[in-house]
Chain A
């Protein structure tokens, strides 16, 4: 018979904290990792997405290759590559500097960069399809009015495209936090890894996993709230966004 013991979270871990403290430090790392990766992904994803729609063929092909490579290699393989392979291939001074970093910082850096790049490829696809859904005449009209190509993107195409892709972008925002759990594989003690550690230390597996699941659900709901708020703030009256 299983003995439930929810009070376990308030008991000391032996290192001067409570198990609840472990959970929240894991949650903090998950949130931080997700947000850093998201910012990187948004900037890179927008740039690559735009590059996939410009008239220049070479730029389009390069951006396409970037997206295909990042989308067709498992995130975990990319993370292991970022963590184990990249420091070896960097110029020796730089590689050694990375290897001398505090291990947690090194794990966080690899995970944030890798998750950011991975997510940027997915965002780039959304940005591209958003711009393409505007059809050629928005671009042609903007150019005919005398706007330069960058101006057409800045003032016409991107403001419309980003509003169109807000719903898929919202779900990508929630996905980034879920995907961040992969960082546990290289030893970063984020939320999922803390759950595992809690099982090992407390032998109360059900409490640990229910708590971790509840925290992921709460994180998901908060992310949804944030995106709803952004959607409401950026709505243009009379301009229907794609559902």
Chain B
């Protein structure tokens, strides 16, 4: 029988793991913010009357949604750093792994967030835009003041769910040997011969964080239909 020994978790390893968790959270937060911004731009472009732009945005989203994240990360770690170094004249010793990771996750997540934002905008009844336009609001102002605030509330649960997926996916930066939480846990386990304990511990930490966030997402999902509720109540008369 295997004898577990969790004594490896202690004063010398916990700070290292905490540092790793900071890297994980930094990637998650950056990709969430940048992914949502780029995703919003993509969603707006896809609805634009400028055909070429709409087509390009759709192609971007479909391309990134059809390939594995692992492959996109490999692309960025193997190809883009060389490109950056030759383009910006950086010396090969400059560590661009973190920058590459942030860009890769942001561009990849943007494709998924653009779909969520599109669905969020579509969930706001068209009458809202029509009414705002009838009151004399320009389209963009109506979008900003009337449609987007309602869309944001409707898509909040989906955004949080995607954020949880993103948080879990950050473990894949392992391909670049960047020391995120998983990388640190794996490294400690391998060096100390306690890989079994460290992997189980890492899994437990990911579970605790993701599960509590997904409970929050569920609660948000139950709370937010306030907006849709008024719309359907109005429709029922």
Contacts and interface: CB of A to CB of B under 8 A. Distances in A.
Contacts, number: 102
B79 A216 contact: no
B174 A81 contact: no
Interface in A163-182: 174, 178-182
B71 to A, nearest CB: 5
B64 to A, nearest CB: 10
Nearest to B86: A2
Interface stretch (B47-55, B147-155, B165-173): B165-173
Interface in B126-177: 164, 168-169, 171-172, 174-175
A178 B67 contact: yes
A74 B169 contact: yes
Interface stretch (B7-15, B96-104, B195-203, B224-232): B195-203
B78 interface: yes
Contacts of B203: 73, 77-78, 81
A209 B77 CA distance: 12
Contacts of B202: 77
B79 A206 contact: yes
Contacts of A77: 171, 182, 199, 202-203, 206
Interface stretch (B31-39, B87-95, B117-125, B207-215): B207-215
Given A85-B196, A89-B196, A217-B66, A76 B74 contact: no
Chain B binding surface SS class: helix
Given A77-B182, A78-B203, A85-B199, A185 B174 contact: yes
Contacts of A209: 71, 74-75, 78-79
Give the interface residue-count category, chain B: 20 to 34
Contacts of B75: 209
A74 B169 CA distance: 7
Nearest to A95: B2
A216 B175 CA distance: 19
A129 interface: no
A111 B70 CA distance: 15
B186 interface: yes
A226 B2 CA distance: 45
Interface string A140-156: 00000000000000000
B210 A73 contact: yes
A74 B171 contact: yes
Contact of B186 (A75, A80, A196, A199): A80
Contacts of A206: 79
A32 B176 CA distance: 27
Nearest to A185: B174
A212 B172 contact: no
B71 A212 contact: yes
Contacts of B175: 185
A132 interface: no
Contacts of A174: 66
B69 to A, nearest CB: 8
A220 interface: yes
Interface in A69-96: 69, 71-78, 80-81, 84-85, 88-89, 92
Contacts of A179: 68
A157 B75 CA distance: 45
A46 to B, nearest CB: 23
B143 to A, nearest CB: 25
A76 B180 CA distance: 13
Interface of B: 1-2, 63, 66-71, 74-75, 78-79, 82, 164, 168-169, 171-172, 174-175, 182, 186, 195-196, 199-200, 202-203, 206-207, 210-211, 214
Given A180-B68, A209-B71, A209-B75, 5 more contacts: A74-B169, A76-B182, A81-B203, A181-B69, A213-B63
